[in-house]
């Protein structure tokens, strides 16, 4: 039996039971068709968290899944409240707490392969975007702003690769997820 603690200070989000392994086919990283660049887009980390909650519900029951969802919603409300204050430092802190919670849940449920998988996905998306940008530029389209975004995504990917080399799977997952979300917006804009 493995204990899965998904909330930093919240003892009521502790679950016990065997840790489910990552089922590669059950974790689709591709966003729903037509949602990238729209309000309907669900960030990659949230999609991974949703799948993790499903796995927890199937393996540990509704109560365990509900504890995760309750904590996630509490943290989201804190992000919304911080945004209303327009205090950028507070917003960054609350978003970081929400992302860290989501990443910890994903890593507890799926273990470190999820971080590597998201990094591979983001890297492939960057390569795809690079190819599309070269084609668009060759056709005379101004892609300078999109190329700037691609460079930013590349920095996220390099940060994820550095984190991977240093054995920091949470940082790998978060940086790679940021890259993937940015790349989805860039692909939609092209």
20-69 pLDDT, tens digit each:
444 434 567 777 767 777 778 889 999 999 999 999 999 999 999 999 99
Q: For residue 7, what are the CA distances in angstroms to 51, 62, 99, 106?
A: 17, 17, 12, 12
The predicted-structure confidence for 70-92, as pLDDT tens digits, reads as follows 999 999 999 999 999 999 999 99
Across 158-180, average pLDDT:
98
| Per-position b or e across 14-29, b if 16+ CB within 10 A of its CB | ebeeebbebeeeebeb
Identify any residues that bridge with 17 across adjacent strands, giving them in sequence order: 2
The predicted-structure confidence for 101-130, as pLDDT tens digits, reads as follows 999 999 999 999 999 999 999 999 999 999
User: What is the rounded end-to-end Cα distance, in angstroms, of the chain?
Assistant: 48
Across 150-169, average pLDDT:
98
| Helix then strand then coil, % of the chain, to nearest 5 | 75, 5, 25
Domain ranges of the chain: 1-111, 112-190
Q: For residue 13, what are the CA distances in angstroms to 71, 80, 99, 116, 171?
A: 8, 22, 16, 25, 22
Predicted pLDDT of residue 36: 73
């Amino acid at each position: 039996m493995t204990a899965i603690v998904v909330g930093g200070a919240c003892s009521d989000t502790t679950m016990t039971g065997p840790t489910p392994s990552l089922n590669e086919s059950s974790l689709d990283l591709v966003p729903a068709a037509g949602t990238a660049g729209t309000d309907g887009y669900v960030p990659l980390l949230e999609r991974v968290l949703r799948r993790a909650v499903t796995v927890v519900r199937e393996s540990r029951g509704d109560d365990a899944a509900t504890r995760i969802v309750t904590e996630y919603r509490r943290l989201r409300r804190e992000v919304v409240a911080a945004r209303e204050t327009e205090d950028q430092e507070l917003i960054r802190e609350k978003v970081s707490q929400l992302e860290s919670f989501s990443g910890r849940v994903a890593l507890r449920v799926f273990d470190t392969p999820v971080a590597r998988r998201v990094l591979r996905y983001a890297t492939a998306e960057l390569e795809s975007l690079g190819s599309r940008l070269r084609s668009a530029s060759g056709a005379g389209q101004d892609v300078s702003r999109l190329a700037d975004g691609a460079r930013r995504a590349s920095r996220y990917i390099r940060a994820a690769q550095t984190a991977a080399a240093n054995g920091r799977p949470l940082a790998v997952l978060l940086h790679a997820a940021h890259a993937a979300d940015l790349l989805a917006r860039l692909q939609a804009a092209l």
